[in-house]
Structure 1
Amino acid sequence: MKATSIAFVLIAASGISSAKNYQGVIEDIIKSDSRNQGVEVTLESKRNDLWFCVKSLEDFVGPMDVFRVFLQSAGRLKEESFDSVKLCYENAEKFSLPGSQYSMMGKQLETQNVMYTIRTFPEKLSSPNGTPAFEKHRGGVLYEMKWQMRDFQSMNEQWYLADVIVAREAKKEAMRPKVFAPDEEVF
């Protein structure tokens, strides 16, 4: 009984110590490139998965800004090894990318055509239940590009844009006056 308790404590402690917080890395990425201003994300490992969570975005931030921060994080962490990278909004997992793909994107960041990376990114993702999130399109170049860019837009909407829009609308609604002056006072 004592041996199993000690073993359990040691396993639990090793799991806790293996969690790393990469928040300093992401803060440095945002500070070092003025185009990244207005993007708020958290970056941390849980077990051997990296969690890239969008927290909030300023009104002037677009999907390419968020993806730039994501790619720059891959570049900084290219030598790290993760089982998967979870794309999340407010800690809710939306997609999963194999860790090997993340590492490869980081290693190829300086040499790979960014448009190719953007176009082919959604087809590498899986849903939280493990099924492929987007299909791999086949056909002529223009046909593929059309559907891949639609998938990229859809991925961003599902990942965080829809939630950001809902949060912004709720904030506007909360600021809307609830009580109005009587007509006699206005006219």
Structure 2
Amino acid sequence: MKKRILIAAVAACALALAGWNYVAAHRPVSERLAQDARNQKVSLWAYHRYGVMPSVLVIDLRRVDADAATVDVLRALFQSAQSHKARRFDKVLLAHRGTPKFSLDGAYYAQLGQEFGEQNPVYTIRTLPQNVRKLDGTPAYETWTGGMLGVLSRQMEDVNQFARDWFIADLAKQEGAQR
């Protein structure tokens, strides 16, 4: 009898946590991404870290179609930030298929959400990598200074490298394994 009550209590807690994650983290992202037909090439899940840490959001890139471009993934990331613009997180982890790869400061994620649709998207894309952190908190990419053309060139190289590091390299490995 006690064992059944314990199992039922654990199951109820697990269901409550799953429901809370769905309502508070995933549903806003899912609803926002569904508003843009271009997002059908990308699947993102959003949840609180370990399902229980409300201060840390995980944006988990679960699927990227072969014909999707990097800009499709970045647009989905920016739209997910827009869907959470009323919330504040300390940190946002960028994961690929359940494996955390990078982090963003929560304030920067909030800024992305508030500026999406208002800020020049090329500026937002090219400055994203300088705000990306490794999991240990150190900068993942450079902040460039100097002449405009040189800076733009280096920033766009970083955007491409960020995409390779976040998800493209994993997709290439998967494709090679399927051959």
Identify the TM-score tier after normalising by the shorter chain.
Answer: 0.7 to 0.9
Of the three residues 145, 150, 155, the one matched with 1:138 is 145
Count, aligned residues: 158
**What corresponds to 1:43 in structure 2?**
46
SS of the aligned residue for 1:37 comes to helix
**What corresponds to 2:3 in structure 1?**
none
Conserved? CA contact 1:56–1:164, under 8 Å: no
SS of the aligned residue for 1:20 comes to helix
Any gaps of 5 or more consecutive residues in structure 1? 1-12, 174-187
- Relative to the length of structure 2, the TM-score reads 0.82
Shift of 1:141: 0.7
Stretch deviating more after TM superposition (129-138 or 162-171): 162-171
Structure 1 residue runs of 4+, over 4 Å off?
none
Q: Which amino acid aligns with 1:116?
A: Y
Shift of 1:169: 2.2
Conserved? CA contact 1:85–1:98, under 8 Å: yes
Between the two proteins, what is the percent identity of the paired residues? Answer: 30
Instruction: Say yes or no: does 1:84 pair with 2:91.
Output: yes
**What corresponds to 1:112 in structure 2?**
119
Any gaps of 5 or more consecutive residues in structure 2? 1-12
State the Cα RMSD in Å.
1.8
Q: Which whole-Å CA distance do the structure 2 matches of 1:170 and 1:24 have between them? A: 33
Conserved? CA contact 1:97–1:126, under 8 Å: yes
- Relative to the length of structure 1, the TM-score reads 0.79
Q: Which amino acid aligns with 2:140?
A: A
**Who wins on radius of gyration, i.e. which is larger?**
1
Q: Deviations over 1:87-121 (max 9, x none)?
A: 11111111110000010111111221111111111
